[in-house]
Amino acid sequence: MDRFVIRRRKSTSPTPGPSSSQIPSPIPSPSTSACSSSELPMEIEERLSEICDDRQNDIVSESESTAQKKLKRSSSTPNIKKLSEIFLWLDATKEYLFCKCCNVKLTDNKFHLSRHDKQATHIKNYGAAKKMPSIKAAELKLCCYIADKKLPMLLMDTLPLLNKELYPDSNIAKNLKIKRLKATKLITGILGPAFKAEVVMDLKLEKFSIIIDETTDVSSKKSLVIVVRYWKEGRVQDQFFDLVAVEDATSEALFNIIKNILSVNNIPFENIIGFGSDNASTMMGTVKGVQARLKEILPHIYVQGCTCHSLHLCSSAAAKKLPNNVERFTRDIYAYFAHSNKRLSELKECQIFANEKPHKMLYPSQTRWLSLKSVVDRILEHWNSLTLFFQRAVLEDNLPSAKRYVLDLTNKVNIEFQSESPKLPILLNRISALYKTL
C-alpha cells in the first residue's frame, strides 16, 4: 500500500511531551479520501512512541545543559563576601547589590563596582556618610547631658552655635544641626525608649523590687512614680521605670496600674520580690492596701515602709506635747527678712561686723522633714549678728519684739538689784555684760 493513514488510538491518559502535530513524521500525509477507520499496526505505533520519547529526552537534556551553563556562569562571578570586603559601602544583605551611600542598585561585576567607586558623586556621598555617625553621636550625647543635668531645652538653641565658635577646627561642631525641637524628639522618641527597653530586658531576667509613690504637681495632677531596684554588674541599681497619670488614687487602681505596666512590657509578675512605699493606708493597708493585694498573688514578697516617714510621724506626734515656740520663732525670723531688701542689707552689715559669712535666713518647710534642723543651725550660726541687728532695730524701727528681748535682759539685772540677798560681788559683772550686750 503506497499511501496509508496514521490514526492514533485515543487513550484515557495524555502522553507527556510535545504533541503529535509538532513531531516530524516520516510517513507521507494522507489524503482525506484515503482515510480508514481501522486501527494502527503494532509496528507503526511502537515507532511513533519511540519518536515521542526521543523528543522528550532532547528537551530534558537541553534544559539541563542550560542550567549547567547558568551555574558555570554564576560560579565564575566574584564572591559576594569578597566584594563586600573590598567595597565597604556595598550592601549585600538584599537580593541585589546596593550602594548604601548613593541608594542605587549595582551589578555583581567587579569592573562596574570599581567604576562606581571612582565616581565624583559617590566619593562625595561616601565622605558625608562617614561623618554622619560622629555627628549623630555628638547630638545624642548633648541630649543625654541636657536630660541628665535637668537643664532647659531652650539651651539647645544656642549650645550648638557656641560649640561652633569654641571649636572652629572641628568638623563635628560645624555640622551640628540640632535645636530644642529636635532634642526633645530625640530624648522622648529615641533615648527614652532605648533606656527603658534596657531596663525592661533586665527586669525580664532578674528579680527586682518595686518602689512607688504618689505625687501631685503644681497643676493638681496626680501621678504615680515607679522605681525598680535590682542587682546588676556587681552592685544594686535603682532605675526610674515609669511615671503614670492617675485619675483614681485608690489602692485597687494603683495595683491595676502596676499590673498592667508589667503585662504590657512582658515582665513576669513573679520576678517581684520586694515592695516599698510610704506608710499611707492606701499603700500599706493590711486589708485593702497595695501591699495586701500584692501578697495575695505573691505571698513571698518582702514589704518595707519608708523609715524616714515613720520617724517623722513619731516625732510629729511627740512634738505635739511640746510648745511650738522654736518653730514659730524660726518662721518669724524668716518672715521679718524675706520681703525687705533694706533689712537684708543691714543684716549683711551686721554679719560682716561680727566676722561672719553673709547668709540668708532659711524657711522651715512644711513637707521637708529635715529642713527645721538646717534652719535652726543657720540661726545659731548667725546668733551674734542677729542679736546686734535686733538691738539696733529697737531704737530705729521701734520693734516690739526686739523691745521684749531687751526688756528681758534689763529685767534680769533689775531683779539682781532688788534681791534681798547680798550680790555685790556679781553685780559689776552683770552690769558689764548688759552694757556690752546692749
Give the tens place of pLDDT for each residue, 119-146.
Answer: 888 777 777 666 566 788 888 899 999 9
**Do residues 222 and 294 both lie within one domain?**
yes
**Do residues 96 and 64 both lie within one domain?**
no
**Do residues 114 and 41 both lie within one domain?**
no
**Do residues 219 and 257 both lie within one domain?**
yes
Eight-class DSSP state of 354: T
Give the tens place of pLDDT for each residue, 50-92.
Answer: 665 655 555 545 555 554 544 444 443 446 667 766 776 777 6
Q: Torsions phi, psi of 238, nearest 5?
A: -105, 120
Which residue range forms the structural domain that includes residue 221?
Answer: 206-311
Tell me the β-bridge partners of 230: 208, 237
**Do residues 307 and 262 both lie within one domain?**
yes
Q: 370 lies in a domain? A: yes
Distance between CA atoms of 424 and 74, rounded to whole angstroms? 123
pLDDT given for residue 324 in this prediction: 73
pLDDT given for residue 209 in this prediction: 96
Q: 423 lies in a domain? A: yes
pLDDT given for residue 11 in this prediction: 44
Show which of 137, 157, 192 is a domain's final residue: 192
Q: 200 lies in a domain? A: no
pLDDT given for residue 437 in this prediction: 63
pLDDT given for residue 42 in this prediction: 61
Residue with cell 527586669: 203
Show which of 145, 165, 192 is a domain's final residue: 192
pLDDT given for residue 231 in this prediction: 93
For 7, counting Cβ atoms within 10 Å of its Cβ (0-12 exposed, 13-18 middle, 19+ buried), the class is middle
**Do residues 430 and 370 both lie within one domain?**
yes
Please give the average pLDDT of every successive group of 10 residues along the chain, which has 438 residues.
44 45 44 43 61 57 50 47 71 71 74 79 72 77 91 92 89 86 91 92 94 86 93 92 90 93 93 92 90 93 85 74 77 86 89 89 73 85 88 69 57 66 71 66
Q: 11 lies in a domain? A: no
**Do residues 152 and 215 both lie within one domain?**
no
Containing 222, the helix (H) or strand (E) segment is strand 222-232
Residue with cell 499511501: 3
Which of 194, 192, 181, 190 has its CA nearest to residue 136? Answer: 190
Query: Hey, how many other C-beta atoms are within 10 angstroms of the C-beta on 113?
Result: 19
**Do residues 174 and 109 both lie within one domain?**
no
Q: 2 lies in a domain? A: no
Q: What is the end-to-end Cα distance of the chain in Å, rounded?
A: 159
Q: 87 lies in a domain? A: yes
Q: 8 lies in a domain? A: no
Distance between CA atoms of 399 and 70, rounded to whole angstroms? 108
Report how many domains make up the chain: 5
**Do residues 112 and 153 both lie within one domain?**
no
